Structures are given as C-alpha cells and as structure tokens.
Amino acid sequence: MEQKFESLSYSEGSSMQRPPLLESGGFFYWKQRFKTYGDYVPFTLCEDRKTRIIVPEENWSKEHKTDVGKNYQAKLVIFNVLPRKEYERVFMLKNAKEIWDSLIVTHHGNMQVIENKIELLAAQYEQFVISDDEKIDIVYSRFNDICSSLKTLGTIYTNKQYVRKFLRALPSKWRPKVTEIDESKDLKNLSLNELIENLKIHEVILDKDEESDKVKKEKNK
C-alpha cells in the first residue's frame, strides 16, 4: 500500500514546506501552524443518505486514490515533526485523523479538561486589564496569547469584540484616544493590528508628554 502512493507529487504552488517541530509545552502554537489534510476513507451513501458503505480498494476511482494518498502524506508529515517519545505513542495508529485526535487528547486533554481550559481562558479574556506602565507591544502579546489559545480550543470572538475589549482595558490616561477612535472609526472594519499600530503611535506622544512633565517638575524644584 505504501509504495502505491510514494510517487504522488504536489501541483505547482502547493509543494510542502518544512513543517514545524512539535516542542514540549508548545502544542497550542504548533497546532495553529500545523495543517493536515485529515483522514479519508472512500465510501458511498445508502438511500437513507446517512449510512456509509466503504468502497473496496479495487473499486476506487482516481479521486479516491488521490484523497487516500493525501491521508498517507499527512501521516508522513505528522511523523516527521514528532519527537521520538511522541512518535512511539502514535505510530501504530492507522490514519492521520486517529493520530491527530490522539495528539489532541494528549496535549489538550479530554473534553472535561478542554472545557476547564476554555473557562479559565475565557475568564482571563473577560478580566483582561492593562496597567499604566505597560507598553502596547507587551500588552498585545499578552492579549494575543489568550485569544490564540481560545481559538485553538474552538472559542472565537469577532474582530469588533477583540477591538472593543482591548480599548476598554486601556488605563485612564488613554481615555481621550479611546473616545477619538470610538467617534472616528468604524469598529467593524478596524482590525486589531490596525488598532495596535494606531495606539503605538499615540504611545510615543504620551511618553514624550510624560518626559516633558518630568523635566518641568525638575526645573520647578
């Protein structure tokens, strides 16, 4: 079976790049970057349109063979990015989907564990605040970690929700800028990246004003 698909090649523009290596403690990040074709077993549907009947290999069409080949290639990609201990856990599994599901359970946990993680991350999202002395780049990295982790677990907010949450988390010295953005921007069409760039520009102005105030206070002394 394996020799049958070894000669499969990818069309121009879809060649595979070197996949990211799974590192200990970095499964959230790895899962977001890693894409797999998933599992495919050729089947037909019965008249009830619900029951599946697996198609025997001798009756596979060209499309069946291509899709099964993709599954074989997906297994190879996953195996190539796993450290030895991870590989030894899954190498006996039959297809890419089983391997993927096993990795999810190992690193995300079962459904109860996943739900607990979602609740914890959702609480962090709802309670997200920014202190007076935090820089926008650092804050954005912290915020993005929470949002990315939620996304990998299936909880996704809209862009408008991300923008509003970030604006509301800013400390009081940012209120004039927040009001300006609220009044002049269509938050539905303002991306989080655009917001961050806008805030970073204003941050420079705030830093200069604070430095100027310090100089004035020193002179007054």
Over residues 132-149, the pLDDT tens digits come to 889 999 999 999 999 988
Of the three residues 84, 108, 132, the one that is the final residue of a domain is: 108
pLDDT at 13: 38
Task: Classify residue 44 as exposed, middle or buried by CB count within 10 Å of its CB (0-12, 13-18, 19+).
Answer: exposed
Calpha distance 78→161 (Å, rounded): 34
pLDDT digits (tens, 9 = 90+) for 46-93: 766 667 677 777 787 888 777 777 777 777 777 777 777 777 777 777
Higher per-residue pLDDT: 155 or 54: 155
Higher per-residue pLDDT: 119 or 221: 119
Beta strands 43-45 and 52-54 are: antiparallel
CA distances from 120 to 25, 114, 124 (A): 18, 10, 6
* Structural domains in the chain (count): 2
Question: Do 164 and 204 belong together in one domain?
Answer: yes
Question: Do 36 and 53 belong together in one domain?
Answer: yes
Calpha distance 173→171 (Å, rounded): 6
Residue-range definition of the domain harbouring residue 208: 111-220
Question: Do 40 and 90 belong together in one domain?
Answer: yes
Using the predicted structure, report yes or no on whether residue 108 has a pLDDT greater than 80: no
CA distances from 55 to 41, 64, 96, 130 (A): 8, 9, 19, 57
